[in-house]
Amino acid sequence: MERSAARGLFLRLAEGCLKMEWDSFLRPCVGRMQAYQPGLREEQIRELVSGAEIYKLSSNESPLPPFPEALVAMSEALGRLNEYPEGSSHRLRAALAEHYGVAPEQILVGNGTNELLTLIAEACLEPGDNVVYGWPSFVVYRYSAQLLGAEYREVALGTNGAFDLDALLERIDRRTKIVYICSPNNPTGVCVSATALDDFLRRVPRQVLVVFDAAYDEFVTCGFGGAAVLAAGGATVTPTTAAPAPNAAARGIAIHAAAPPAPAPAAPLAYFDGTRPFVVLKTFSKAYALAGIRVGFGFAPKPLVEAVERVREPFNVNTVAQAAAIASLAGGDELERRCALNAAGRERLEAGFAELGLKFFPSQANFVWVEVPDAEHAFDQLLRRGIIVRPFPAGGGLRVGVGDAAGVNRTLEVFRELFGGSQ
């Protein structure tokens, strides 16, 4: 055999022997996971859009920039980026402790609540354990369980769009480690009531950790509407929505002037005592408009905080993020002002959906879940008109973010174009 032919044969044999079998090499649980799919960005759809303006309403982001104090603090922090961040976020923990009246040793800080959820799972879960939560909700509850080889048990939401806490209790067994409660829930925007949470905490086994995800808690302005969801053909709508269009009755939509008193939403920090296995998670990404730098925080019993400290990455919250978060806490009335603007935009969306006879859940978040005849088709038609929302085809609905005044105007204009003549 000639030398060149022999060399070629050798290389082919070596290539076969050295070929990596990735399917067997990677952890099986990773192969079963799906990568997180963020909302579409403006540059991804520009060529599809006929108009000039694009409104990204798919990721529950603030339509406003960070607080003025935060912008100044971030600018001042840039000159220190040659150094590693403060490793324990000591100043941020101290500011959070003072702001919320919780001991610093009971405070978690992370790269968004996403990281905190994963860190809690890493500290608590082993293969064979299980977690329980409502569905649809935040997908990281599932991802963090899958990553640790734990079982995830998804429980259908109640008919009012909130977590059904009685149904969660029914799925708990001796291997349940964590129960997640999201309120206001993403993607429905509905809160669990204080009465329901009182009852749940009395009945949940003491060995189960309850993680209350309050990422949208700042947007809660009043009681929620329970089952009072607008429905074509005869249903109710909460008093917070505006009056229907004059032709609403002609389309068979019964809208009552008043709804029964709504149960008070649960205020999660009222249940935190630092002793019981109860965690509250919050974020600077939403109401504080800092999604781009990722700062999540939470309140947990000291032993759990210490466990999370052992498994988290060093320097997990960067210098600019820490500075912005501290400054935002000192923002005075700015948070209240912005949440009021969000509530006004939210009510305008709900009133517009009411006029069109579309079902929706009265929301306490910075988005509204609305049911449409064909969610995938509606998503595509909205996209082509410059409105990016989040479709949930399995649930038959869209999650529509509350934009600024122009964004709300354009959203309602497009919805009227698409659905105004079909009801």
As a whole-number percent, the residues of the chain with pLDDT over 70 amount to 83
Say what the pLDDT of residue 394 is. Answer: 83
Q: Are 295 and 323 in contact (CB under 8 A)?
A: no
Q: Are 166 and 188 in contact (CB under 8 A)?
A: no
Say what the pLDDT of residue 46 is. Answer: 67
What is the per-residue pLDDT across 116-128, written as a single tens digit (0 to 9) for each?
999 999 999 999 9
Which 3-state string (H, E, C) describes the chain? CCHHHHHHHHHHHHHHHHCCCHHHHCCHHHHHCCCCCCCCCHHHHHHHCCCCCCEECCCCCCCCCCCHHHHHHHHHHHHHCCCCCCCCCHHHHHHHHHHHCCCHHHEEEECHHHHHHHHHHHHHCCCCCEEEEEECCCCHHHHHHHHCCCEEEEEECCCCCCCCHHHHHHCCCCCEEEEEEECCCCCCCCCCEHHHHHHHHHHCCCCCEEEEECCCHHHCCCCCCCCCCCCCCCCCCCCCCCCCCCCCHHHCCCCCCCCCCCCCECCHHHHCCCCCCEEEEEECCCCCCCCCCCCEEEECCHHHHHHHHHHCCCCCCCHHHHHHHHHHHCCCCHHHHHHHHHHHHHHHHHHHHHHCCCCECCCCCCEEEEECCCHHHHHHHHHHCCEECEEEHHHCEEEEECCCHHHHHHHHHHHHHHHCCCC
Partnered with residue 176 across adjacent β-strands are 130
What is the per-residue pLDDT across 174-227, written as a single tens digit (0 to 9) for each?
999 999 999 999 999 999 999 999 999 999 999 999 999 999 999 998 643 333
Report how far residue 350's alpha carbon sits from residue 361's, in angstroms, rounded to the nearest whole number.
Answer: 9
What is the per-residue pLDDT across 43-58, written as a single tens digit (0 to 9) for each?
666 677 766 789 999 9
The domain segmentation of the chain, as residue ranges, is 38-67+227-261+333-423, 68-223+262-330
**Torsion sign, CA atoms 73, 78, 79, 83:** positive
Say what the pLDDT of residue 41 is. Answer: 66
Spacing of C-alpha 388 from chain mean position:
17
List CB contacts of 128: < 8 A, sequence separation 6 or more.
149, 150, 151, 175
Q: At 155, which amino acid appears?
A: V
Say what the pLDDT of residue 48 is. Answer: 72
Can you read off the two tokens belonging to residue 322?
């820490």
CATH of domain 68-223+262-330: 3.40.640.10
**Torsion sign, CA atoms 365, 389, 286, 182:** positive
Say what the pLDDT of residue 175 is. Answer: 97
Say what the pLDDT of residue 17 is. Answer: 62
Can you read off the two tokens belonging to residue 165?
């806490």
Say what the pLDDT of residue 246 is. Answer: 32
pLDDT along the chain (423 residues), means of 10: 66 66 81 74 69 88 97 97 96 98 98 97 97 97 96 97 98 98 98 97 97 98 42 32 32 32 87 97 98 97 98 96 97 93 98 97 97 94 94 91 97 96 55
Say what the pLDDT of residue 10 is. Answer: 63
State residue 142 phi and psi, 5-degree precision.
Answer: -70, -50
Q: Which of 352, 394, 365, 399 is nearest to 379 (CA)?
A: 399
Can you read off the two tokens belonging to residue 117?
């959820």
Q: What's domain 38-67+227-261+333-423's superfamily in CATH?
A: Aspartate Aminotransferase, domain 1 (3.90.1150.10)
**Beta-sheet strand order (sheet of 367-371):** 367-371, 397-401, 390-392
Q: Are 38-67+227-261+333-423 and 68-223+262-330 the same fold in CATH?
A: no
